[in-house]
Homo-oligomer: A and B are copies of this chain.
Amino acid sequence: MAAEVASVVAAFGALSTADQDKVREALLHGDKGNAAVDNAGAKPRGKIQAMSAEVVDSNPYSRLMALQRMGIVANYQDIRSFTVAIVGMGGVGSVAAEMLTRCGIGRLLLYDYDTVELANMNRLFFRPEHVGMTKTDAAAKTLAEINPDVELESFTSNITTVDGFEGFVRSLTQAPLGFQAEPPLPGGPVRGKGSRVDLVLSCVDNYEARMTINQACNELGQPWMESGVSEDAVSGHIQLLLPGETACFACVPPLVVASGIDERTLKREGVCAASLPTTMGMVAGLLVQNSLKYLLRFGTVSRYLGYNALADFFPTMEMRPNVQCDNAACRARQAEYAALAPEREAAARAAQAAAAAVEEPQVVHADNEWGIAVEEGDGEGAAAGGSGQQSGSTEAAPALPDGIQYLMAKRDEVDESTLAELAVGRTDTSLDDLQKQLDALNSGP
């Protein structure tokens, strides 16, 4: 090692640990002195101002922008205007963060309080060199190296504490010092009240943290997606939660909680849950694919999608809100959603009329000089199948189809009758009735 190098390393070694972190930060992000000239491949690239579809080896976005040319996504570059919060940097959250980073998402908020261990190496993303770092630091470092265009904010905190919950809600609504909140995309996905985040992804491994996210999102009216992998590592699920519109996480509680067992008593000394990089990667893939479809408005956004790895079975279902949900914020969002039904119906009629109007000129024969047209149907088919449409699965499904299990249900602890009792079916109540029921509930003490 040259004397100059040794002297800088020694000067570094003499610093306090906190100062060493600051130096490391300065050298990694931002001002790197004269650095980074040669070694074309290894040097970090500068930020790219606008996504380009140009087909050259040096363009990291050419194969994403090709989605537009192929007619899959109408406006891929809109992805840069979205902010996504990922809670939990485990086997699902870290891979979801990497996928969104490589897709060129605008901003990511990352939450975890844990540190990387060798026992995490059976899942993708973290590498042995990260052992001992906090998961948020290791993730932010790796993601910044992969794609410097993505704005990253990391929060090393436990959201399930009282302070943690307040900090979590604050982070969703207020940009921290030195950061600026992206304005919502006009016509884009709905954000929660005062929220600077387009979508929250829950990638946590316990009930308490899920209920915390549920509470924050219900209070804000914030759309979010939940994900989970079973303790035996061979099944998982994702679920879209739109406060007031779909079931919240408390509407259909996991059975272990419904039956009054504290989940902490289930974790025994010296026993750990199984996990596989395949199942975790699959669930992250399903979650981010559904997020891309939701944010960029293409394909069918699944409301609930399960994965049974042993049978390669992928059940879907619809989960409607429980009018008797324990969560007051959920009931308030349900009332708001019901009250807006006339507006939604009017908007749907207008959109249908607009689609029919756009459709019409295409029905006219190109070489028909009299403008005579044979109309086929009313254009509804085209409107329903277009790539710009976004809709959940609308088929009625039994509340708990074959192959679907509650995340923490134990075969030995839960009997069939409890399962049937807690199942939430399709509500046939009219919106007016629902409103009356909610008003009655809200007028109570």
Contact = CB atoms under 8 A, between A and B. Distances in A.
A402 B44 CA distance: 46
A278 interface: yes
Given A102-B124, A145-B129, A272 B66 contact: yes
Contacts of A174: none
A310 B290 CA distance: 9
A2 to B, nearest CB: 6
A78 interface: no
Interface string A250-288: 000000000000000000001111111111011011101
B45 A22 contact: no
A78 B441 CA distance: 59
Nearest to A37: B17
Given A35-B17, A58-B117, A27 B42 contact: no
B36 A17 contact: yes
Contact of A273 (B7, B66, B130, B273): B66
Given A20-B35, A33-B10, A288 B299 contact: no
Contacts of A66: 233, 271-275
A82 to B, nearest CB: 15
Interface string A117-144: 1110111100111111100000000100
A118 B58 contact: yes
Count identical subunits in the complex. 2
Interface in A89-119: 95, 98-99, 102-104, 116-119
Given A118-B57, A145-B127, A13 B32 contact: yes
Interface residues of A, number: 116
A412 interface: no
Contact of A42 (B38, B62, B132): B132
Interface string A18-43: 11111110111101111111111110
Contact of A11 (B11, B299, B300): B11
A312 B19 CA distance: 49
Contacts of A103: 122, 276-278
Contact of A62 (B15, B45, B272, B276): B272
B281 A118 contact: no
Contacts of A13: 31-35
B131 A146 contact: no
A177 interface: no
A305 B300 contact: no
Given A60-B121, A285-B285, A314-B314, A72 B234 contact: yes
22 contacts: A11-B11, A12-B27, A12-B35, A13-B32, A13-B34, A15-B34, A41-B117, A41-B130, A41-B131, A42-B128, A61-B122, A63-B275, A66-B274, A67-B233, A69-B274, A99-B281, A103-B122, A103-B278, A124-B124, A282-B285, A293-B310, A305-B312
